[in-house]
């Protein structure tokens, strides 16, 4: 009986964690940008992490890294073949003009920090 209870509680916890980290995150507000957006890199997240921009439109993502962990040092847009070094507490601009609609993920080297640029 105790075993069953432990299993049920454990399963509920696993579901909660999955919901919190994966499903819940997809509901993070999307910020629409016209030209410039400041993105803070801190405490394991990009903030904001859900960004929407227009197709064929020049935009600048200004990353400021306030996280000393070496993992936060590089931001990578894998599908665009872009990687950018972020020095501590110094804004780094990344200018883009994306010609193809889609979702472009950006991450740190190990994929722990995650963000998404949606182009439509
Ligand atoms: Cu990382």
State the pTM of this model. 0.77
90 C-alpha to ligand 1 centroid (Å): 19
Residue 92 contacts residue 98 (beta carbons within 8 Å) = no
Tokens of 5: 């209870």
pLDDT tens digit at each of 120 positions of the chain? 767 667 766 766 765 665 666 656 555 788 999 999 999 999 989 999 999 999 999 999 999 999 999 989 999 999 999 999 999 999 999 999 999 999 999 999 989 899 999 999
Q: Which of 43, 55, 48, 54 is nearest to 30 (CA)?
A: 48
2 C-alpha to ligand 1 centroid (Å): 39
Which residues crowd ion ligand 1, with CB under 5 Å?
71, 108, 110, 112
For 9-56, the DSSP string reads: HHHHHHHHHHIIIIIGGGGSPPEE-SSEEEEEEETTEEES-EEEE-TT
Domains and CATH numbers, the chain: 30-119 (2.60.40.420)
Half-sphere exposure at residue 32, Cβ-oriented, CA atoms within 13 angstroms: 3
């Amino acid at each position: 009986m105790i075993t069953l209870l432990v299993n049920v509680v454990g399963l509920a916890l696993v579901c909660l964690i999955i919901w919190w980290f994966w499903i819940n995150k997809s509901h993070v507000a999307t910020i629409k940008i016209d030209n410039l957006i400041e993105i803070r890199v801190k405490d394991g997240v990009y903030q904001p992490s859900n960004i929407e921009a227009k197709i064929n439109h020049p935009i600048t993502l200004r990353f400021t890294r306030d996280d000393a962990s070496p993992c936060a040092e590089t931001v990578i847009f894998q599908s665009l073949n872009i990687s950018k070094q972020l020095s501590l507490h110094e804004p780094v601009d990344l200018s883009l003009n994306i010609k193809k609609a889609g979702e472009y993920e950006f991450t740190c080297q190990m994929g722990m920090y995650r963000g998404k640029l949606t182009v439509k």
